[in-house]
Structure 1
Amino acid sequence: MDVWRRLLLAVVCGVAVAGVYAAQPVLTPMGDSFGVSAGQSGWIVSTGQFGYLAGLVLLVPLGDVVADRRRLIAVHLAITAVGLLLTSVAPTAWMAFTALALAGMFAVVVQTTVAYAASVSPPAERGRNIGIVTSGVVTGILGVRIVTGLLAEQWGWRSVYVLLGALALGLAVLVPRVLPPEGRSRRPAGYGQALTSLGALLGERVFLTRGLIAFFLFASFGTLWSGLSLPLSDAPWGFGEGRIGMFGVVGLAGALGAARAGRWADAGRAAPMAGFALALLILSWAAIAQLSWSLWLLVIGVVLLDFAVQVVHVSNQHTLTSAHAERTSSVIGAYMVFYSLGSALGAAATTSVFTSHGWTGSSVLGTGFATCALIAWAVGEGLSTGEVQAHLAEVHDAGVSRQTIPTITDKAVDGTAE
């Protein structure tokens, strides 16, 4: 796959997922528009996440049913555009929530796109291509904060959904014209068979481990990014939408810094790198918790958090698509159910916790989710509590130096060999 096609797939992922997260930096003005209280504003984001969850179960398995995923990608992008444009003109809360759920449901085009990228990639390049395409997801989640903040200050929050809807429509036209066919040799599975296979995956130790890691990983991620606008818009900072949105640049720096995650996975280091990144995730919250008095420590924490999330996410997907090359759509869709549930939990919980316990409470919540993710990884890899504590201490003492990375290589079995 050439660089331009990889870039197109990354843009598809970025635009689709941006529609689910565009509300994060403008929760306050959106809530005011629809009469939603500050304590309940997290549900604006969670609505899209629950739509996403429904799409993962009902729509993503279609990728293993249709003969040509390119057309499926185009159709899903077009319907996503409809949901985004309806959100931009919604006069009431229930109409906005319905439109956001529709956009979220068909934003699972992301998983079909990742499955397509894995399918057309040679085994030796699968991790690299998944890493590049998945970087579009993180870029969309964080980049939309920048765009949303800037546009909202000039033309209001609705302008963001107009832009995203137009981009989704344009991509729906472009995808079938530019991308090559997969040339799958196996006959596609039936829809019922694809749905049934989702339940069977829950009995697999490797899948369940990666799923639980994703659940807690993205609960921690959602705790930060769905709640960050609240303390930044409050005293002592009092930032507007534009300045809050610029923190997406910080997150992008961390996420794009993990661009080599796919290469590490191709080199057989998916599992140890995931463990290292999860330990780093826990430590990132120690810096993020200092937001009330230090923006610089917040910046450092955000960079570390998004680096860690991207490394773990790419490693998980590489492991699962390598183990289930014949049904990549279904396995990614089932895995992302955990992602969606975790993101929705983080988005809903952080606003409620912030209202009652401030940013300290939200930081404790994010740290707790990150710790649970590391425990799930350790149990899956068969590590003892002492080994995990020793690794955390190493990360704390040595920072993010490359020398710390191999320390658990001998303690964990790479996911592709499980």
Structure 2
Amino acid sequence: MTTTEPHPDGGLSRGLLLLMSVATGLAVAGNYFAQPLLDLIGRELRLGPSMAALVVTAAQAGYALGLILLVPLGDLMERRRLAMSLYAATAVFLLVSATAANGTVLLASTALTALTSVGAQVVVPFAATLAAPAERGRVVGTVMTGLMLGLLLARTASGALSELGGWRTVYWVNAVLMALMAVLLRVFLPRLGGDGRRLSYPGLLRSTVAMFRYEPLLRWRAGVGALSLASFSVMWTALTFLLARSPYGWSESAIGLFGLVGAAGALTATVAGRLADRGYVQTVTGAGATLLVTSWLAIAAGARSLVWLLVGVIVLDLAHQAVLNSSQNVLYALRPEARNRINSAFLTSLFLGGAVGSALTSVVWVHGGWTGVCVLGATLSAGTLALWVLERITVNRAAGKPSKTSARQGHDPAPAASTNWSNPYPATTKGE
């Protein structure tokens, strides 16, 4: 079976889709377990606050490297083997974290865990390839729901597990679950790829970067996604500051439970996916970007009203999921044979956007408080909407008068992408 062929059944069983969703959530969760436990970890391993905070930085750096260096391998290697190997390696590195005797070992194991946890981003395009075209949006939305739930609920789960058996319990439990996932993926995933056509690894990385040059829609959607995640990160970064002070004054455990609110927004990703399957992928992006802007009105009112804060957070999460899911559906339709490289390029851009949003939040909070944070988030959201509008104008002009079907699917009616691996990135859209 080649990398461009869908599963022979023309779709995914519910059981396999559930397995892939849970697998993605568990993989990314490991990168966030330490955040509410830094004080406990610091005391036991005798780390200063700055050294303890480096655990979070190590996770971010490792994940970024994994997106760039490992995710593109899904276009080169047999995908089941790659996914299983990455999950097994993550389990091993989690065990190292669970038994870490000092901060140096914990930092190294955290970075390596994050590096291999990008196996989740091998599973997402894997699911898109196995899905029948008519259900790809629903499938991607379902798998991404699992991923986002893992990200949002990790802090809550780590707090509960640490109270039961200390901070190391979190890593032991996740290591066992990741090892189990590696076995289940090996048993239930079909073989995909490995048909003998090869790029060298350096050539694969060059090809990933070159996608930005030869795929105009990737450039547009990378910008749209980066601004959306930046806005998303602004809210979640500043939320802890807001809830810890008057008039809320919440404890750390109560703040951690607020992640459950975000989970409600993540569950709507499948709705966005189903709408994309019905030909409304651009409508989903536009509606999501518009809601992203308006959500900040409620979030701003949330400075003194918990009800408005809850409404704003749910709407913002829903909107971000709509933008992310619809963008992935647009991009996965471009080049089936380069799906992992496109995913790598897109997600690296998202990661950078989120990192910039978090960094700006720290500065703006000091000088402008919650009002300044809301202005920053609304500005980034407005940029998301503006960039999507410019994308539509540019693509439609380049395509002349595209058919309704082409416009809804997010790309102009250009010839199909070449699958010649010796020349893997000729342009497939007319947006340049």
TM-score (norm 2): 0.82
Matched, 1:75 2:85: yes
1:242-276 C-alpha deviation (Å, 9 max, x unpaired): 32222122111111123211121122211221111
1:277 to 274, 278, 288: 288
Matched, 1:35 2:11: no
1:366-381 → structure 2 map (5 Å cutoff): 366-381=377-392
In structure 1, C-alpha distance between the alignment counterparts of 2:367 and 2:267, rounded to whole Å: 34
Q: Which amino acid aligns with 1:248?
A: G
Tell me what 1:260 maps to.
271
Moved more, 107-116 or 236-245: 236-245
Contact 1:217 1:309 in 2 (8 A): yes
- Relative distance call for 1:267 and 1:50 in structure 2 (3 A) is same
In structure 2, C-alpha distance between the alignment counterparts of 1:186 and 1:375, rounded to whole Å: 43
Tell me what 1:116 maps to.
126
1:195-229 C-alpha deviation (Å, 9 max, x unpaired): 12112211221000011111111112222223322
- Relative distance call for 1:290 and 1:4 in structure 2 (3 A) is same
Moved more, 75-84 or 105-114: 75-84
Indicate the RMSD between aligned Cα atoms, in angstroms: 2.7
Tell me what 1:340 maps to.
351
Moved more, 214-223 or 96-105: 96-105
Moved more, 114-123 or 4-13: 114-123
Tell me what 1:162 maps to.
172
In structure 2, C-alpha distance between the alignment counterparts of 1:41 and 1:232, rounded to whole Å: 22
Tell me what 1:391 maps to.
none
- TM-superposed CA distance for 1:343, in Å, is 2.2
Matched, 1:245 2:256: yes
Matched, 1:193 2:187: no
2:341 to 330, 336, 343: 330
- Relative distance call for 1:357 and 1:95 in structure 2 (3 A) is farther
Contact 1:282 1:371 in 2 (8 A): yes
Moved more, 371-380 or 156-165: 156-165
Contact 1:22 1:145 in 2 (8 A): yes
> Which structure has the greater CA radius of gyration?
2
1:97-246 → structure 2 map (5 Å cutoff): 97-182=107-192, 187-203=197-213, 204-246=215-257
- Relative distance call for 1:355 and 1:77 in structure 2 (3 A) is farther
- Say which SS state the counterpart of residue 34 (structure 1) adopts: coil
- Relative distance call for 1:281 and 1:73 in structure 2 (3 A) is same
Higher RCO, Cα 8 Å, sep 6+: 1
- TM-superposed CA distance for 1:355, in Å, is 4.3
In structure 2, C-alpha distance between the alignment counterparts of 1:363 and 1:82, rounded to whole Å: 41
- Relative distance call for 1:170 and 1:53 in structure 2 (3 A) is same
- TM-superposed CA distance for 1:282, in Å, is 1.5
1:316-359 C-alpha deviation (Å, 9 max, x unpaired): 11111111111111111111101111222233333444345433
Contact 1:117 1:129 in 2 (8 A): yes
TM-score (norm 1): 0.84
Tell me what 1:413 maps to.
407
Q: How many residues align?
A: 389
Q: Identical aligned pairs, as a percentage?
A: 38
- TM-superposed CA distance for 1:44, in Å, is 4.6
Q: Which amino acid aligns with 1:349?
A: L
- Relative distance call for 1:155 and 1:49 in structure 2 (3 A) is same
Greater fraction of residues in helix: 1
- Say which SS state the counterpart of residue 269 (structure 2) adopts: coil
Contact 1:42 1:226 in 2 (8 A): no
In structure 1, C-alpha distance between the alignment counterparts of 2:140 and 2:393, rounded to whole Å: 27
Contact 1:63 1:329 in 2 (8 A): yes
Moved more, 253-262 or 333-342: 253-262
In structure 2, C-alpha distance between the alignment counterparts of 1:170 and 1:105, rounded to whole Å: 19
Contact 1:55 1:106 in 2 (8 A): yes
- Say which SS state the counterpart of residue 121 (structure 2) adopts: helix
In structure 2, C-alpha distance between the alignment counterparts of 1:352 and 1:90, rounded to whole Å: 33
1:381-408 C-alpha deviation (Å, 9 max, x unpaired): 128xxxxxxxxxxxxxxxxxxxxxxxxx
Moved more, 325-334 or 367-376: 367-376
